[in-house]
A = this chain, B = another copy of it.
């Protein structure tokens, strides 16, 4: 299976899983399910769930065991985008070329759809623990997601990002934002997938380093695309960080240095991944894909 086929296989399985978890059950609140589904199926790349599955496959073949965990990552990522886009936050009308959730369903439903996805992700994790043959291991892999998405992770990063708007910030603060707002969930996807697949302590340390590099490279690349990208490919206005007066890596270090940093981080990650060949071929290709992407 080549890279493109492999990524499509993962995406398809993740989408099926998400579809099942978000099946409508109750007439009274159909609109809540519609709203959650709208954003979950709005064309995301499924990067986080794919990292869960690919990282799992480095250590065990039965990667379908990790599908509920993978779906939970995507739900938490999606809820964070819905809340990020709200008028009180980044106030974005479009994401991936489609109207944002609150523009279609109203602010109140968008807030509740976000809450619903965050909650549902944890319901799924808890149910998996109850039915697991190794509940403590399953709980540990779930905890990695939950901690990464929480106040010491993604939410913490988001708060500091908002507080930093319009201010000169230090490199430390920018690193804090990148590490937590985007990086934490990407790193956690790889570590929790590997942990669920019974990776050793040493392997988990490697995977955490790989995930940390990919997370930071991904965020810097995103910042670069906001400056240099093609609006029609991104599905949103470029320069939006500039308009929001956000601090970004290119703003603090320049475009060239940022590009160099993305390459360096990716190179280090790839070096570590070569230890896991041939199983890591997909992740090696994914590194190249992420560095080359135009959206």
Q: State A28–B126 Cα separation when bound (angstroms).
A: 31
Query: Chain A 4-33, CB within 8 Å of chain B: the 1/0 string?
Result: 000000000000000000000110110111
The smallest C-beta distance from A82 to any residue of chain B, in angstroms, reads 10
| Chain A 104-156 interface residues, beta-carbon cutoff 8 Å to B | 106-109, 111-112, 114-116, 118-120, 122-123, 125-127, 129-130, 135-136, 139-140, 142-143, 146-147, 149-152, 155-156
Listed stretches A159-167, A224-232, A257-265, A287-295; interface member: A159-167
The smallest C-beta distance from A182 to any residue of chain B, in angstroms, reads 16
A123 to B146, Cβ gap below 8 A?
Answer: yes
Query: Chain A 88-104, CB within 8 Å of chain B: the 1/0 string?
Result: 11000000000000000
User: Counting CB contacts under 8 A, is A173 at the interface?
Assistant: yes
Q: State A159–B24 Cα separation when bound (angstroms).
A: 14
The smallest C-beta distance from A250 to any residue of chain B, in angstroms, reads 22
Given A129-B129, A135-B129, A159 contacting B119 (CB threshold 8 A): no
User: Counting CB contacts under 8 A, is A86 at the interface?
Assistant: yes
B139 to A126, Cβ gap below 8 A?
Answer: yes
User: Counting CB contacts under 8 A, is A213 at the interface?
Assistant: no
When distances are taken between beta carbons in the complex, the residues of chain B under 8 Å from A120 are 150-151
User: Counting CB contacts under 8 A, is A176 at the interface?
Assistant: yes
When distances are taken between beta carbons in the complex, the residues of chain B under 8 Å from A119 are 118, 146, 149-151, 155
User: Counting CB contacts under 8 A, is A83 at the interface?
Assistant: yes
User: Counting CB contacts under 8 A, is A158 at the interface?
Assistant: yes
Give 12 CB contacts A-B under 8 Å. A25-B152, A28-B156, A28-B160, A36-B151, A83-B115, A118-B118, A123-B146, A123-B150, A126-B143, A130-B140, A130-B143, A139-B139
The smallest C-beta distance from A244 to any residue of chain B, in angstroms, reads 12
- The interface centre, meaning the residue of A26, A28, A83, A107 with most chain B CB atoms within 10 A of its CB, is A28
Query: Chain A 255-288, CB within 8 Å of chain B: the 1/0 string?
Result: 0000000000000000000000000000000000
